[in-house]
Chain A
Amino acid sequence: MTNVLVCVKRVPDSTSEVVLTDDGQAVDGRYAGFTTSAHEECAVELAAQVTGADGGEATVLTLGDDDAVEQLRSSLAVGCHAATHVVAEAHRFGPADVAREIAAVVREHEAAGRSHDLILLGNDAADSGDFQVGIRLAYELGRPVVNGVNQVSVADGVVTAQGAGPEGHETYRVPLPAVVTVLEGGVEPRYPSVQGRMKAKKVAIEQRTPATEPAGPDRVRLLLPPPAPSDVQILGKGADAAPAVVDVLEKLGVLSR
């Protein structure tokens, strides 16, 4: 039985045009809505798979304002069993602050008899992109850490984490307890089922206040990158475009002549 803690962050959906808030401190989610990043969705899926395989408990944790409950419930609906909410204004917390808060939860849970053998995080946050929390958390807890993998399985007290590396496919075997940060692409996150959603609604969420005053992210402001040049190329219109389309398909290797 592996008990997994998976950490998520409520972020604006940035799959369409990204809009910043007026003060440049955050991404504005008013049009696209809020979600968790694709990395974290995969981390949640892996948590569900690992605990589904050996009967362990998957706990989802977030640090965020009252609205972040939505992301906890969404994770509960797709396979997590318990949830912890550190109620705080996320933008006042830098990566070191967040790592310290997660570590505090892990220690307290452990003291209360709930160990988290495996801690899964997304590789990086979709809004602030700090790339730090996983490593800082592992350091804080004195645990081994594997970064940027997309497959995770657990057997005999060892976590096997795999992913693409610069030299090819990489596989790590690390003894538990451990921390792993996840990249999207290795697993297909499930959609919630109706019963899953109904069950998620009924789970009592553990609410906590931050353990320490945050030092802050020291962020001056966010800037949008210049819009990427459009790579749309119009091949033609109607039947006249057919030869050009065939050429492209051939070039892509999906068509052989």
Chain B
Amino acid sequence: MATVPPTARVVVIGAGIVGNSLVHHLARLGWRDIVQIDKGPLPNPGGSTGHASNFIFPVDHSREITDLTLDSVRQYKEMGVFTESGGFELARTEARMEELRRRMSSAKAWGIEAHLVDPAFVKEKVPFIETDQFIGAFWTPSVGVVDSLRAGTIMRESALETGALTVVPTVEVVGLDTEEDGAGRRRITRVRTTDGDIEAETVVIACGVWSPKIGDMAGISIPLTPAVHQMISVGPCPQLAEQEGEISFPIVRDMDTFCYERQHGADMEVGSYAHRAILHEPEDIPSIEQAKLSPTEMPFTSDDFDPQLEQAYELMPELLGADGAEMRYAINGLLSLTCDGSPILGESEVRGLWTAAAVWIKEGPGVGRAVAEWMTHGHPEIDVNASDVARFHQHQKRREHTRLRTTEAFIKTYGIIHPSEQYESDREQRLSPMHESQKKLGAFFYETAGWERPHWYESNAHLLEVYGDAVMPREHEWDSRWWSPIINAEHLRMREAAGVIDLSAFCIFDIEGPGALESVQRTCVAQCDVAVGKVVYTPVLDARGGFKSDLTVMRLGDDHFRVVTGGAHGMADRKSFTDQLVDDGATRLTDRTDELSTIGLWGPRARDILASLTSDDVSDAGFGFLTCREVQVKGTPVLASRISYVGELGWELYVPMDAAAGVWETLLEAGSSHGAVPVGIGVYGTTGRIEKGYRAFGFELDGERSIVEAGMQRPKVKTADFVGREAYLRQREEAPRTVLCTMTVDDHTSASGAKRYMLGGEPILTRDGGTLTDGHGHHPYVTTAGSAPSLGKHVLMAYLPPDQAVIGNQLAVSYMEELYPVTVGSVDATPLLDPANERIR
């Protein structure tokens, strides 16, 4: 047995599917002197991999998870540990059938073969199923099972063969040491173990349900919780025993009872997500010695499972009730859950300390490759922004938050989740100063980064009559869930008069010091060496030229910049800037989010309203577009920035928190005589921006898209160096392989006669339903969908193959398995509304 060496280039903690995949890919990418440790024995050290059900359904509504899964399947196949079985997802109700139709959209968008089938089709492949229990199914032929332990061994051994890896099992981590650098950033220096210390500049925490405990040792939060997934194994079933091999019948997911039936040799495994959320703390997981089976195979609590048993029996009575078939294995298996359902990947706030946790078998090898690439090149091939460990805000780092959110979400594992559905638990973590006022106005709150944000205001309901059918009402319940026509009424009033919008959720940070300019220039694509008082809108890229963000930067002084960015992605942006800080001991990044509230004022009357509240010059000549300066609003000093994300004349006003409620009231009062109303994020985030073709990070912009493909290139590229500059220069020379386009829906009438409105994620096809493929091999799908009330149209954005990116081109969108005609209206950043941008002036 190897012993713990005193130094390593990188230490990987954990030998489950993630750790094993990671050491394999690190070695493949040229890393040497890799040390992998685990507190358990090999090949099954006792984590979640050891008891996983090991099946993979490739279709997920999330593109990121689907890509990681497809990459994992490819790797499992290469290793020869994948067995294709096919899989059904059953619908017992019409609501579920509709969800399966929506699933077809995702399958088509991601290019995965799938079909909606009737019970007879299922019975033919699964003869022991009772067809009177369900009405239809979603059939994915490429579903399969893997041997994840074998895969782990193969990958670990491939790294061992290169001589790059030392593996030391049965060694426990007892500490992680860090030190601080000149820019106030901590970095990892050492892993302390029960067998001695290892000096290392790079360490990866890949130990699944134990990760939070290890993260705590370095003072970082890895907010996942160990949660129970119950599973029983019934057998021997004669119907299965007659078949050769591990699996010969498709896997059945009984979606409406939240359980699955998966053959395993002569046994049928029944797994459940229907029970109450049973959560544990990482510190309370038994040791290997204390555990009866393994630490993550906790004692089965049969009461929790009993309701499932009856439902499973109803579905497969002959099989599960066969003579001699007994429940011979039953566990409360532990797996990892997070507050938003995504994995936790990437470099933490401690430099050199990485995590790859909250990963399931279906994503394991894909995550291993992505994180290894990220560690090697600074970016993975598959965009994993939604899984970035840097995404968490302070309130999300609390264990309590993870506990409450996963408790709420567990029962929805197989649930029908509306794309706009909001969490109910642990809300009201961050309240803007105008929250009380907003409640009185009947705000309907969505949550962003813990902030309660009004999505629309019931106080504006009277506008519905004013605008009539122009508010584009939606008759179908699904299309109008988490939505209100009031959003469109607010939109029309803003375009006609003005709107006041609470933007307190913005993340704001200042970069100050002698290295401020260089730090900002390194991070941003746009020229930030501008006159003091200028506002710059800029993309932020990774080294291969993919988007990491888009945001605004204000130059407030020679050595003082202020970055304003969306709340949802703000923490990751903060890390991007922190990473580029000049290490001179004097340049610092300071988070101002909790000190400053942002209020937007936009619309044709915005200038009149602001002018009525200040003696400062707010004329176009005196306060030009893309400039910022301090103005007095009724005696309160606020920083005003003349920009717009809704395509109207107006300002973002940055107000000290304690004065924000007053300024908000002042704006509403002064605005009312001009027709201004409070306007929600429904307008700001969707209707206002989509009419203007403004791109949003996480929708149109992500790590796999380039500035050129998004149609956002400027005539010149600054000479100063920035992350992604070389790649960006290269992209500008190449013909784009995909082009971001804006489309309008020509006819909303469905077969039933009801008008339907797409919500995003739907595939774009040829008029007659043919598949389109862009130069990356991707199929086009809707990145944003929304009403454009000023155009009287429903607008969709999507990346199309370049030859389809032609204004007037007639295509179709598939929604709930019906085709609707669409027409391309814009093939670059040219907005459908006000293409000359006259309203902004």
Using CB atoms and an 8 Å cutoff, list the residues of chain A in contact with chain B.
13, 15-17, 19, 29-34, 70, 73-74, 190-195, 197-198, 201
Nearest CB of B to A12, in Å: 10
Q: In the complex, how many angstroms separate the beta carbon of B545 from the nearest chain A beta carbon?
A: 49
Report Cα–Cα, A75/B303, bound state, in Å: 14
Cβ-closest chain A residue relative to B329: A191
**Which residue from A19, A73, A193 sits with its C-beta under 8 Å from B326?**
A193
Q: Give the complex CA separation of A191 and B236 in angstroms.
A: 11
A33 to B330, CA, bound (A): 12
Q: CB distance A33 to B320 under 8 Å?
A: no
Cβ-defined contact, B302 with A73, below 8 A: yes
A17 B290 Cβ-Cβ under 8 A: yes
Q: Which residue of chain B lies nearest to A78 when distances are taken between CB atoms in the complex?
A: B326
State whether A195 touches B321 (Cβ < 8 A).
Answer: yes
Q: Which positions 272-313 of chain B face chain A at CB distance < 8 Å?
A: 284, 286-287, 289-292, 298-300, 302-303, 306, 309-310, 312-313
* A15 CB contact (under 8 Å) in B284, B292, B320, B328: B292
> CB distance A16 to B292 under 8 Å?
yes
Q: How far is the CA of A130 from the CA of B310 in the complex (A)?
A: 40
Interface residues on B, range: 20 to 34
User: Which chain A residues border B532 with CB–CB below 8 Å?
Assistant: none
> Please, what's the 1-or-0 string for B317-335, where 1 marks a CB less than 8 Å from any CB in chain A?
0001100011110000000
Q: Which residue of B lies closest to A29 (CB)?
A: B299
- Give every chain A residue within 8 A of B312 (Cβ-Cβ): 194
- Whether B309 lies near A198 (C-beta < 8 A) is yes
Partner of B321, one of A17, A32, A194: A194
**Known contacts A19-B290, A31-B290, A33-B292: does B326 contact A191 (CB below 8 Å)?**
yes
Query: Contacts A31-B286, A32-B290, A198-B313 given: A13-B327 contact, CB under 8 Å?
Result: no
Contact partner of A201 (CB less than 8 A), chosen from B306, B320, B326, is B306
CB of B234 within 8 Å of the partner chain: yes
CB <8 Å contact, B328 and A191: yes
Contact yes or no, B300 A33, CB < 8 A: yes
Judging by beta carbons under 8 Å apart, are B327 and A32 in contact? no
> What are the 7 A-B residue pairs with the smallest beta carbon separation, nearest first?
A33-B299, A31-B286, A191-B326, A17-B289, A31-B290, A194-B320, A32-B292
Quote the shortest CB–CB distance from A187 to chain B (angstroms): 15
Cβ contacts under 8 Å, A193 to chain B: 234, 321, 325-327
Please, which residues of chain B bring their CB within 8 A of the CB of A34? 299
Pair B286/A190 contact, Cβ less than 8 Å: no
A-B pairs with beta carbons under 8 Å apart, 11 shown = A15-B292, A31-B290, A70-B303, A73-B302, A192-B326, A193-B327, A194-B313, A197-B302, A197-B306, A198-B306, A198-B310
Residues of B within 8 A of A198 (CB): 306, 309-310, 313
Contact B326 A190 (CB under 8 A): yes
Question: A204 → chain B, closest Cβ, in Å?
Answer: 16
Contact of A197 among B284, B291, B299, B309 (CB under 8 A): B309
Interface centre among A13, A33, A34 (most CB of B within 10 A): A33
Could you say which of B286, B313, B320 has the most chain A C-beta atoms within 10 Å of its C-beta?
Answer: B286
Question: In the complex the two chains form, is B299's CB within 8 Å of A32's CB?
Answer: yes
- Distance in angstroms between the alpha carbons of A70 and B301 in the assembled complex: 9
Q: A194-B234, A194-B325, A198-B309 are in contact. Are A32 and B286 (CB under 8 A)?
A: yes
A193 CA to B321 CA, complexed, in Å: 7
List 18 additional A-B contacts (Cβ < 8 Å) besides A16-B289, A32-B286, A197-B306: A17-B289, A17-B290, A31-B286, A32-B292, A32-B299, A33-B299, A70-B303, A73-B302, A192-B326, A193-B321, A194-B313, A194-B320, A194-B327, A195-B313, A195-B321, A197-B327, A198-B310, A198-B313
Residue of B nearest to A193 (CB): B326
Point out the residues of chain B lying under 8 angstroms from A15, CB to CB. Answer: 292
How far apart are the CA atoms of A33 and B297 in the complex, in Å? 11
CA distance A163 to B787 in the complex (A): 82
Q: List the A side residues contacting B234 at CB < 8 Å.
A: 193-194
Nearest residue (CB) in A for B331 is A33
Q: Across the interface, which residues of A come within 8 angstroms of B299, CB to CB?
A: 13, 29, 32-34
Distance in angstroms from A241 CB to nearest chain B CB is: 13
Asked whether A33 lies within 8 Å of B325 as measured between CB atoms, the reply is: no
Nearest opposing residue in chain B for A237, CB measure: B1
